[in-house]
Amino acid sequence: MDLTEHRQILNNELHQIINDYDEFKENIYEQKPNPHDLSLLDQIYQWEIDSIEKIQHKAQECREIVIKLSPKFINDIEKKFKDLNEQIKQIREENDFNEINLEYLRNELTKITVELNNSSKISIEHGAQSFINDISIITSKKSKWDKWEQNAITVAAENGVGQQLNQLNQPVGFFIDKNKTIFIADYNNHRIVEWKCNAKQGQIIAGGNGQGNRMDQLYYPTDVIVHQQTHSIIIADQGNRRVIQWFNQNQQILINNIDCSRLATDKHGFLYVSDHQKNEVKRWKMGEYNNEGIVVAGGNGNGNNLNQLNSSGFIFIDEDQSVYVSDRDNHRVMKWRKDANEGRIVAGGNGRGESLNQLSYPRGVIVDELDQIYVADSGNDRIMRWCEGKEEGEIVVGGTKKGNRSNQLNTPLGISFDDERNLYVADCLNHRIQKFEIIL
């Protein structure tokens, strides 16, 4: 009896395995390319052909205009030259001229010479918008980390504004390591605070000696990152216009005379610094700070053109070394691909406002593995998520008016994820760090 019953149990388990196998086989079949997928390739190919035809047609049209205008341009100058020549001959024949006549002839000859040498008479003007329709690939794949609890947990500083070890005074940028330890740029306290997971108070690891420019002091620090290999911390010491490294209480200035706003690193060992006065982002190779750095975003003065920024703020670097910049006073987030001459608007860009297609003084920005862009919309007291190419974003957390309840924010600045995809926010004017747990 025992043997028969045992055999029946094994048969049932085998039957379950076969069912699971059939289900897995069906899933594989569903993932295989189908005729619809091939038609997508055909559509891309057709778009390529159509675009090339448009470019060729436009180029031929411009060539014909240049060929038509060039002789006319030379003929016009030649006519002016002949007229001037007749005037010179007449003056010589009449032998009646003075300084005014000579000055006139000299000026006319100069004008004709400049006009002949001035190639801008016929030039190429680049349109602001492309006449080729852009295309992009949209996948239906969605992140399983889709929503967060709307009521946050305060993980650092539940005790209001102050300078005690259980308090903060306007936290700005912060960094989370693998142990969920939070390193906080405590702006108005001129210090960097290390706050371990579940701790009731923090520990000062840099600054904390009053505001100043001594090596053991900080002056309105705005951001901090931890260098994992050396276990040192790199600080944007904004008030002192320097990027400084602290290691075992030893300090070293890495970059001087820079209005450093925010910091970021990439997997290739580069340090990125946002300069809010020059409206640019520069890059340095780690350990090689004896040069001017390379501009990777902005650098063309203050403005709202695609090659400009207006008070560049937080930055994020993706796997391809594309630079995402919160363009604060333009109320938009820009993406600059590696070696690009201009950026692309990926969030906001429709003026300041609270609609879903607008931002108000965006600050912190991070991008997930699906290229979804998360923005601390500080003026609207909310965190938003945008997909590149979409006309509007969605509210992730906050957006329930300014306040200090667990579902409210007051001028959110820095944002970050931990390894479990929980969302952390520097709730600046509530003087706390909030954790919004992921809903699995």
DSSP letters for 295-354: EEEE-S-BSSSTT-BSSEEEEEE-TT--EEEEEGGGTEEEEE-TT-SS-EEEEE-S-B-S
* Over residues 411-429, mean pLDDT: 96
Calculate mean pLDDT across residues 395-418. Answer: 96
pLDDT, tens digit, 9 for 90 and up, residues 184-212: 999 999 999 999 999 999 999 999 999 99
Q: Which of 6-15, 115-124, 167-176 bottoms out in mean pLDDT, i.e. has the lowest?
A: 115-124
Per-residue confidence band for 31, with pLDDT thresholds at 50, 70 and 90:
low
Per-residue pLDDT tens over the stretch 275-296: 999 999 999 998 899 899 999 9
186 burial type by CB count under 10 A (0-12 exposed, 13-18 middle, 19+ buried): buried
pLDDT value of residue 216: 93
Mean pLDDT of 257-283: 95
Whether residue 131 has pLDDT greater than 70: no
Q: Which residues pair with 425 in a beta bridge?
A: 415, 434
Instruction: Judge contact between 417 and 405, C-beta under 8 A.
Output: no
Q: Which of 12-16, 24-28, 421-425 has the lowest mean pLDDT?
A: 24-28
User: 120 or 384: which carries more pLDDT confidence?
Assistant: 384
Check residue 154 and give its pLDDT.
Answer: 97
Position 35 scores a pLDDT of 54
Comparing 48 with 69, which gets the higher pLDDT?
A: 48
Spatial distance between the Cα atoms of 163 and 208, rounded to a whole number of angstroms: 9
Provide the strand spans (E) within 143-198: 147-148, 153-156, 171-176, 182-186, 191-195
Ordered strands of the 372-377 beta sheet: 362-367, 372-377, 382-387, 394-398
Closest by Cα among 302, 290, 205 to 253:
290
297-317 mean pLDDT? 96
CA dihedral (80, 81, 84, 86) in degrees, to 10, reads: -110
Cα–Cα distances in angstroms (integers) from residue 179 to residues 104, 194, 224, 364, 419, in the given order: 82, 12, 17, 22, 9
83: three-class secondary structure by DSSP: helix
pLDDT computed for residue 246 by the predictor: 92
Mean predicted confidence (pLDDT) in 50-71: 79
HSE (side-chain half, CA atoms, 13 Å) at 374: 23
| pTM strictly above 0.75 | no
Q: Which tokens go with 354?
A: 């609270």
How would you label 218-246 residue by residue, b for 16+ Cβ within 10 Å and e otherwise?
bbbbbbbbbeeeeeebbbbbbbbbbbbbb
Mean pLDDT of the chain: 87
pLDDT, average across residues 321-331: 97
What integer is the mean pLDDT of 25-29?
Answer: 71
Tell which phi-psi region holds residue 364, choosing left (phi > 0), alpha (psi between -120 and 50) or beta.
Answer: beta
Reduce the DSSP state of residue 10 to 3 states and report it.
Answer: helix
Task: Examine the pLDDT at 149 and tell me if it is beyond 90.
Answer: yes
**Domain segments of the chain as ranges:** 76-118, 148-439
Cα dihedral 255/259/261/262 (nearest 10): -20
Per CATH, the homologous superfamily of domain 148-439 is TolB, C-terminal domain (2.120.10.30)
Tokens 């290229």 correspond to 371
- Give the helix ranges, DSSP H, for 96-198: 99-117
The CA angle 348-140-129, to the nearest 5 degrees, is: 40
Count of positions (residues) in the chain: 440
Average pLDDT over residues 372-388: 96
Question: What CA–CA distance (Å, rounded) separates 261 from 238?
Answer: 6
Look up tokens 């801008």; give the residue.
Answer: 120
Residue type, 242: R
Residue 128 has pLDDT above 80, yes or no: no
